[in-house]
Structure 1
Amino acid sequence: MTKTPTERRPLGLVSVALLSFFSVCGGPFGSEQIVSACGPLVGLTSLLLFPLVYSLPLNLLLAELCSAFPIDSSFCTWVGLAFGRSWGFYVGYWSWLASTFDAAVYPCLVTASLFMNMDTSWEMKTLVRIALLTLFMIPTLFSINFVGKASVWLAVVVLVPFVVLIVTAVPQMNFHHVLAIGPEMDWTQLISLLFWNFRGFDAMGAYAGEIHNPQANFHRAMLLSLFMISATYMLPLLAAAAVNKPNYTTWTDGEFPTIAQFIGGAWLARWVAISNGVSSFGLYFVESTANGFRLTGMADIGFAPRWFMLRDEATGCPRRSILFIYGLGVAMCAVDFSTILGVTNALSILAQLVQSCAGISLRYTHADIQRPYRVNLDKSALAAVMALPIALGVAIFVNQLCVNSITVFLTGGAIIIGVVFRFSMQLQEKGYERIAKENDIS
């Protein structure tokens, strides 16, 4: 007999925090342009404030609702309660699709690093992407308990070289460099990067049914992971900006190996580059696992085909869902991801906006729901605190759609496909209800 998630619940506080760490961050890679967009002073100050004004209120609200509904794809249930089942489906679908695209990027990033400055055919790169994707996927088939424990060791491997980088940088630091303001202020890029580097906390709701003592561990894991992620970005960037070699104005995505070369030499650069590969593996490893539970959780409540409901009897691993996501990833290995990343961001923001509004709405319409953890604010104060994160989310969503016309087309297409699929599911449900009534009458 298959154990239910409630009977299993293998994930403790540390495992959940590390899973959240790899769902959102996985290391400081990709944060370099936070400094180069507007300069060290503005970038680092923004990096300090953004998690406090945006991520913290949103995370605590997510913890409140996920602890009240500790099941896989928890957010589908409480968004559906707030706004109707269709909105619960849309949030799950947008979140699942964004994470599917996002996870498939990481094998491609490793492939790009392997073939940097090499004239390699598209066919060879595609084969290597598929091979890496397969290698990354296989460990996700074991169990989420294995993924949680492995995340601890992956975090150590990823972060140790940055501890060494910071220590090595100390004698070279000149904090006068940290006070510099960029010659050109690219606020749009800065805000987009901040959101990108702090997106993904809602993944915890995807496997809420696997978390031990969710009433106590949800908000603690949210706070612990937010602190870890903020420190993971802030400390290496602060050290690198204080050394300022190469000059911060030249920093682009993936600059940390070059920064490490200037600070510690070739050995540190190679170590950081290896850490980057491990980070990409960890990000795919955790995000793909969470996405499998997200799809299976949606199937549990009728938002995805019942075929995806099957879990492994011993571990509860949703292997069908994970293999389906892997198949989509293989197809995407042949695609250029520059535009798709904009779609990923847009869909992720859209899901977060609906989740935030639903959380506030439930305080007014379903105040009697038992909430084992509750944000210590009344409904009016909570709405006021959430106003800024929601306004920022709307601004970032509009900005993502303005990237180019292809992004608008693909985002709109993804939304329309979801609407059509939901409509077909509703027709199917009505058909089942009609057949059941006819059988009762006969």
Structure 2
Amino acid sequence: MAKALEGNTASVTTSRAQLRQIGFLPLLALFYGYTAGGPFGYEEIFQGSGPGMSLVFLTFVPFLWSIPISFAAAEMNSILPVQGGFYRWVRAAFGDFWGFQCGWWNWTGTFLLNSVYGVLLMDYLHDYIPGLTGEWKWAGAALALCLLGYLNIRGVQVAGWVAIGLQIAVFIPVAWLCIVTLFKLHYNPVLPFIPPGKPLGSVFGKGLALAMWDYAGYEQLSSVIGEVKDAQKTFVRVLAWNTPMNILTYTLPATLALAVLGNWQEWQTGYMVTAAQLIGGHPLGVAILIASIIGTASLSNSTILYTTRIPATMAEDGYLPSWLGKIHPKYGTPARAIAVSTLIYCLLAGTKVVDLVNVYIWTRIATSMLTLLAAWGLRRKMPNALRSFRIPGGTVGLAATIILPAILCGVKIYNSEPYVFRYAPWLLAGGPVAYVILRYVFRMKPASAR
């Protein structure tokens, strides 16, 4: 399979004649929107892990998690720039079974991930609309997800320019918040380092999960390679810009707000809005509320874009029903995959954010580790392929790229909350079960790489 891919990468890429393409700036906005979107949704990390440890997580996790994945993705994209990216790289490296697991875990995990964003939108609105609870909260989340799903059906170009507009609308209020805080600093933002009396396992459990969620999914950029102009150069540029932007997003506004308020014990999901109101009054609070809604919408918009390409590509390869991979004749998008995924997001949009994230992160770990291992697998199977980008450091660099994230993932899994051990293994077990059912009951045979 790897030889077939090496010989003709275009053959496993969805027909570019059907797909619309975007350039660097819209793609960066979409990818930043997918991996950050603004300093929102992760605020509970400060209460759970303490301000000092939380800022350590938010500063250093990307060096052990997202940057290694970026290196691996950039190298594999330089030899196999295919639509479906990391899923097809894993398939080329390890065969049909593991290719299916990678795609399936990614798709089913993002059912939880995108449900998070619908819930987040309603959490931010709740302080201003107290009656937004129960069925009304679920209905509002579902409506927002359906609207964003529709925008994605309209096409990657629409989604890209929407993402640029959304990010500009987020950056202005956040910059305002940062400037105001500079004149009101009173507290050391890293103290206490961890919550007094809290078990270290609990500090690592939720905090590390939230930090890994914040910096997860860097391989997802590869899923839309067929829709990117000058894909090989653009891919590397976007990865290089995105990581420092994300680190600043997650650390700077929160550090400044903590230095003004010092009330880390009160930080919950959505607290950035309350913090802004306490720091700058009602006008700043409303501005950050609007920014948080826009930022969360940007996260969801980008997540739908990146993650729905995987089931469409799996359907094209014969893993899933062919109708799921049909490209819309007018908009050039996998409209059916988007519609089915959005429906499932809506059904799950009634669960607490931190619970969704803690279960989701297991599927993210499984998918990302398979992607990292695929970089090693493709070096073995395609040693002579021309690589315009290589992971720095030779064999040692490749080993570090795999081992460092593996250690981080091991620490996270070991310190998972008890309820996560009840649900997450079943979610992962769904991959092999689905493979057996689809392959041997429904007789769906993956197409060989052509």
Q: Does 1:105 align with 2:116?
A: yes
Tell me, in whole angstroms, the C-alpha distance in 2 between the residues paired with 1:162 and 1:37: 24
Question: 1:140 maps to what in 2?
Answer: 152
Q: Is the 8 A contact 1:342 1:407 kept in 2?
A: no
Name the TM-score, length of structure 2 as normaliser: 0.87
Question: 1:168 maps to what in 2?
Answer: 180
CA deviations on 1:26-79 (whole Å, 9 max, x unpaired) are 111123344444443433233222212322121111121123222221112211
Choose 1 or 2 for highest CA Rg.
Answer: 1
Tell me, in whole angstroms, the C-alpha distance in 1 between the residues paired with 2:242 and 2:404: 22
Question: 2:318 maps to what in 1?
Answer: 302
Question: 2:394 maps to what in 1?
Answer: 378
Q: Is the 8 A contact 2:38 2:295 kept in 1?
A: yes
AA at the equivalent of 1:414: G
Deviates more, 1:279-288 or 1:43-52: 43-52
Q: Does 1:74 align with 2:85?
A: yes
CA deviations on 1:170-198 (whole Å, 9 max, x unpaired) are 11124644454234352333222210111
Picking from 29, 35, 44, the partner of 1:24 is 35
Tell me, in whole angstroms, the C-alpha distance in 2 between the residues paired with 1:369 and 1:67: 9
Tell me, in whole angstroms, the C-alpha distance in 1 between the residues paired with 2:68 and 2:307: 24
Q: Does 1:360 align with 2:376?
A: yes
Question: 1:86 maps to what in 2?
Answer: 97
Deviates more, 1:103-112 or 1:11-20: 103-112
Question: 1:438 maps to what in 2?
Answer: none
Picking from 324, 337, 345, the partner of 1:321 is 337
Picking from 51, 57, 60, the partner of 2:68 is 57
Question: 1:4 maps to what in 2?
Answer: 15
Q: Classify the secondary structure of the residue corresponding to 1:172.
A: coil
Question: 1:204 maps to what in 2?
Answer: 221
- Displacement of 1:204 after TM fit? 0.6
Tell me, in whole angstroms, the C-alpha distance in 1 between the residues paired with 2:113 and 2:443: 31
Question: 1:436 maps to what in 2?
Answer: none
Q: Does 1:229 align with 2:246?
A: yes
**Structure 2: which 5+ residue stretches go unaligned?**
1-13
Tell me, in whole angstroms, the C-alpha distance in 2 between the residues paired with 1:334 and 1:179: 34
| Number of residue pairs matched by the alignment | 429
Tell me, in whole angstroms, the C-alpha distance in 2 between the residues paired with 1:421 and 1:63: 34
AA at the equivalent of 1:212: K
Picking from 256, 262, 265, the partner of 1:249 is 265
Q: Classify the secondary structure of the residue corresponding to 1:181.
A: coil
Q: Classify the secondary structure of the residue corresponding to 2:320.
A: coil
Question: 1:350 maps to what in 2?
Answer: 366
Alpha carbon RMSD of aligned pairs, Å?
2.7
Q: Is the 8 A contact 1:89 1:422 kept in 2?
A: no
Deviates more, 1:104-113 or 1:247-256: 104-113
1:152 and 1:191, CA in 2 relative to 1: closer, same or farther beyond 3 A? same
1:202 and 1:418, CA in 2 relative to 1: closer, same or farther beyond 3 A? farther
- Displacement of 1:164 after TM fit? 0.3
CA deviations on 1:398-433 (whole Å, 9 max, x unpaired) are 444744453246425533543334533784439x99
1:16 and 1:181, CA in 2 relative to 1: closer, same or farther beyond 3 A? same
Picking from 122, 143, 146, the partner of 1:131 is 143
Tell me, in whole angstroms, the C-alpha distance in 1 between the residues paired with 2:391 and 2:421: 40
Tell me, in whole angstroms, the C-alpha distance in 1 between the residues paired with 2:32 and 2:133: 35
Deviates more, 1:125-134 or 1:101-110: 125-134
Q: Classify the secondary structure of the residue corresponding to 1:367.
A: coil
Percent identity of equivalent pairs: 24
Question: 2:276 maps to what in 1?
Answer: 260
1:237 and 1:385, CA in 2 relative to 1: closer, same or farther beyond 3 A? same
Runs (4+) off by over 6 Å: none
Tell me, in whole angstroms, the C-alpha distance in 2 between the residues paired with 1:33 and 1:105: 14
Question: 1:423 maps to what in 2?
Answer: 439
Q: Is the 8 A contact 2:177 2:253 kept in 1?
A: yes
Tell me, in whole angstroms, the C-alpha distance in 2 between the residues paired with 1:141 and 1:323: 8
Name the TM-score, length of structure 1 as normaliser: 0.88
Q: Classify the secondary structure of the residue corresponding to 1:265.
A: helix
1:170 and 1:49, CA in 2 relative to 1: closer, same or farther beyond 3 A? same
